[in-house]
């Protein structure tokens, strides 16, 4: 029988976990790195960085917190959004189209960025907040949700608009990448003069 010994938690990891748990009430999982448990207080809509930049341009301030993890951008949305995403994509007529769009819901994990104002490891690919959650106010109230109130009445950003923008930007990035690959394949081979 093998004995499993948990990895020791560094003081920074312990402090990061405590900050998320105490300041925001978010569940964490020990690391390294510390991970945030999705599906309880929020879900995470993940898109490629290029698509995420387009979403942020389109939506302006109408997004919740946004994290950058490597080459992926995570947009925090209301808990339960993961279950709504497939039907929402179908309704928006993106259902049969291959998109580089994913969502973390119940029992998912997201690498925890350092809390706002903390300095630490700037390791390549480390998670960072582009738009950080604000302690001291109900973060979940500012996350994109499916609206049940008449349009414009609810304070939270609209999940439908966010998903529509994310799908369009993911598709745009895919088309541009395909076009760039196609253009590169059509170019004649380079000829180099011998010296």
Neighbours of 146 (CB within 10 A): 16
C-alpha to C-alpha distance for 28 and 61, rounded to whole angstroms:
27
pLDDT tens, position by position, 184-194: 444 444 444 44
Q: Enter the pTM of the model.
A: 0.79
CA distance 24 to 21: 6
Q: Please give the C-alpha separations between residue 119 and each of 3, 24, 126, in angstroms, as whole numbers.
A: 35, 19, 12
pLDDT category, 8, cuts 50, 70, 90? Answer: very low
pLDDT digits (tens, 9 = 90+) for 36-63: 999 999 999 999 999 999 999 998 877 8
Prior bond of 32 cis (ω within 30°): yes
């Amino acid at each position: 029988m093998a004995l499993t010994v948990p990895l020791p938690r560094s003081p920074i990891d312990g402090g990061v976990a405590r900050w998320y748990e105490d300041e925001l009430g978010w569940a964490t999982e020990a690391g390294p790195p510390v991970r945030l448990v999705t599906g309880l207080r929020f879900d995470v809509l993940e898109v490629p960085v290029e698509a995420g930049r387009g979403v942020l341009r389109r939506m302006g301030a109408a997004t919740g917190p946004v994290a950058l993890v490597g080459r992926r951008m995570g947009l925090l949305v209301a808990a339960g959004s993961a279950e709504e995403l497939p039907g929402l994509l179908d309704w928006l007529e993106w259902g049969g189209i291959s998109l580089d769009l994913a969502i973390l819901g119940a029992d998912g994990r997201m690498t925890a960025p350092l809390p706002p104002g903390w300095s630490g490891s700037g390791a390549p690919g480390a998670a960072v907040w582009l738009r950080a959650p604000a302690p001291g106010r109900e973060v979940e109230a500012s996350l994109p949700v499916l609206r049940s109130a008449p349009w414009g009445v609810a304070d939270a950003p609209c999940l439908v608009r966010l998903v529509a923008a994310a799908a369009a930007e993911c598709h745009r990035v895919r088309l541009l990448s395909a076009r760039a690959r196609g253009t590169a394949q059509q170019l004649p081979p380079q000829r180099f003069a011998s010296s």
